[in-house]
């Protein structure tokens, strides 16, 4: 299910090329890189030309501090309609009483969730960073670790799964003000009901950081955190396939606190071109084609996991429920960092990540982008073979690079 052809790209019109060839060359080269290598970074996707059109529109010029009907700037009549449309579409898509679509990024959404519910110094229970917690889940290098007292839960070193008994024991011991569930690399569906139960037991808020799976939720291919979490934070640019940005979902009881936590507490002017692009993406995500896409993303990830296992790689948790999988290249005789380098040389772009075993470093892959390009399960099987070939033998990289070029050439992300 490739996105519709890019008919009126600003680049094809060559506006930028005539005025600023230096920058135009970089943009064209990046477009070439994206379409001739395999984008296996689990957080990335290809937005549609319609989303890109909204991003490149004159809405980028508009200042709009505040919320529709209550702005601090004049001339907001039209962007108000755009934002109301985005909010209404998000509410309908996720069955949420309230949506805030102004967060500049996933991290800004998490910051706003904390600002809405916590005070500096509060205790928060979240997945530990070595196991897949995000920077905003208590990294000492991030505001979260500096301003809050984070306690980390891990995953079972054998199964790679969240140990809900450990989560419960830590919650009882530390009495957190909030429990955070969500991860940058957990390949399985999160049991939101189990987290809700623990949060209720200790009187904590439940924050679901669904940055990764929210697109699967939109397409009905993953369970929704909305009925369970007090606040859901998300990105709009991962599986959801919208512009780079964040959003928050909550019940009407917390709506005002969440809105005030975004503006004026942590942000000022909303980016109205991005808000409009979010509306476009929510519109796309409400279609049957997107539902089919989300299910294909998961089917592709499962096939890729099976095929990589057949090549001898270790697959964390034995598979995946989502768009992402984490693999241990150790059985093929390479560590995570070396593996990422060999794969990059062969045209396969992905990240390293933590593994359930303490200190282990593996690879994180996702199928959101390749599925948008129209690749299916036979291509996943082919990718697994190319993957293992590049890992086993450094000198095979050049040959694999040509095969990747051939494969991607048959699935252009922006045809025409
Ligand atoms: C991607 C991600 C974020 C942050 O998103 P940005 O837009 O990069 O700030 C936050 N939390 C989780 C779990 C993520 O996966």
CATH number of the domain where residue 71 is located = 3.40.640.10
> Quick one: pLDDT band at residue 394, thresholds 50, 70, 90?
confident
Give residue 332's domain range.
Answer: 288-409
Is 404 part of a structural domain of the chain? Answer: yes
Q: Is 320 a catalytic residue?
A: no
Q: How far apart are CA 305 and CA 300, in angstroms?
A: 9
Residue of 244, 257, 382, 392 with catalytic role: 244
Q: Is 278 a catalytic residue?
A: no
pLDDT digits (tens, 9 = 90+) for 71-92: 999 999 999 999 999 999 999 9
The pair of three-digit structure tokens given for residue 112, joined into one six-digit string: 């706003």
CA contacts within 13 A on the Cβ side of 243: 28
Q: Is 37 a catalytic residue?
A: no
Q: Is 238 a catalytic residue?
A: yes
**Shared-domain flag, residues 139 and 163:** yes
> Mean pLDDT over residues 165-191, rounded?
98
DSSP 4: P
CA 143 to ligand 1 centroid distance, Å: 14
**Shared-domain flag, residues 248 and 148:** yes
Q: Does 325 show up as a binding residue in the annotation?
A: no
Residue of 31, 36, 65, 257 with catalytic role: 65
Q: Is 205 a catalytic residue?
A: no
Count up the domains in the chain and report the number.
2
**Shared-domain flag, residues 294 and 273:** no
Strands (DSSP E) contained in 24-137 are 38-39, 66-67, 70-71, 98-100, 123-127
**Shared-domain flag, residues 191 and 326:** no
The pair of three-digit structure tokens given for residue 107, joined into one six-digit string: 């991290």
Is 255 part of a structural domain of the chain? Answer: yes
Is the shortest distance between the CB of 274 and ligand 1 below 6 Å?
A: no
Q: Does 134 show up as a binding residue in the annotation?
A: yes
**Shared-domain flag, residues 71 and 135:** yes
Last residue in a domain, options 232, 257, 285: 285
> Mean pLDDT over residues 262-272, rounded?
98
Is 154 part of a structural domain of the chain? Answer: yes
Last residue in a domain, options 225, 258, 285: 285
Is the shortest distance between the CB of 44 and ligand 1 below 6 Å?
A: no
pLDDT of res. 5? 46
pLDDT digits (tens, 9 = 90+) for 12-30: 558 899 999 999 999 999 9
Atom in ligand 1 nearest the alpha carbon of residue 182:
13
pLDDT digits (tens, 9 = 90+) for 287-311: 999 999 999 999 999 999 999 999 9
Contact 284, 271 (CB under 8 A): no
CA 366 to ligand 1 centroid distance, Å: 15
């Amino acid at each position: 299910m490739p996105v519709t052809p890019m008919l009126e790209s600003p680049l094809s019109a060559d506006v930028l090329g005539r005025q600023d060839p230096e920058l135009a060359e970089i943009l064209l080269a990046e477009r070439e890189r994206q379409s001739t290598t395999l984008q296996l970074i689990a957080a990335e996707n290809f937005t549609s030309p319609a989303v890109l059109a909204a991003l490149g529109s004159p809405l980028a010029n508009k200042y709009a501090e505040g919320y529709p009907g209550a702005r601090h700037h004049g001339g907001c009549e039209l962007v108000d309609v755009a934002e109301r449309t985005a909010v209404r579409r998000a509410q309908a898509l996720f069955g949420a009483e309230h949506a805030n679509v102004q967060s500049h990024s996933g991290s800004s959404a998490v910051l706003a969730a904390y600002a809405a519910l916590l005070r500096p110094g509060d205790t928060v229970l979240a997945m530990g960073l070595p196991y897949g917690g995000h920077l905003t889940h208590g990294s000492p290098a991030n505001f979260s670790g500096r301003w809050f007292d984070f306690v980390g839960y891990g995953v079972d070193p054998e199964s790679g799964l969240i140990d809900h008994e450990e989560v419960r024991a830590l919650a009882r011991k530390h009495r957190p003000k909030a429990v955070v569930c969500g991860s940058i690399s957990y390949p399985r569906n999160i049991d939101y009901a189990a987290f809700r139960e623990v949060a209720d037991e200790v009187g904590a808020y439940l924050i679901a950081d669904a940055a990764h799976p929210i697109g699967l939720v939109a397409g009905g291919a993953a369970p929704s955190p909305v009925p369970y979490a007090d606040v859901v934070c998300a990105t709009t640019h991962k599986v959801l396939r919208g512009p780079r940005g964040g959003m928050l979902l909550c019940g009407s009881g917390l709506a005002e606190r969440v809105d005030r936590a975004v503006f004026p507490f942590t942000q000022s002017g909303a980016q109205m071109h991005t808000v409009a692009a979010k509306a476009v993406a929510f519109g796309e995500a409400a279609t049957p084609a997107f539902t089919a896409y989300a299910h294909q993303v998961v089917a592709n990830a499962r096939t890729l996991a099976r095929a990589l296992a057949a090549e001898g790689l270790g697959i964390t948790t034995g598979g995946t429920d989502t768009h992402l999988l984490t693999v241990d290249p150790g059985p093929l005789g390479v560590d995570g960092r070396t593996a990422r380098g060999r794969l990059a040389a062969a045209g396969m772009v992905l990240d390293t990540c933590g593994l359930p075993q303490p200190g282990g470093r593996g690879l994180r892959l996702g199928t959101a982008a390749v599925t948008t390009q129209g690749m299916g399960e036979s291509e996943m099987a082919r990718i697994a073979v190319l993957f293992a070939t590049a890992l086993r033998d450094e000198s095979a990289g050049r040959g694999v690079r040509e095969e990747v070029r051939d494969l991607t050439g048959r699935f252009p992300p922006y045809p025409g």
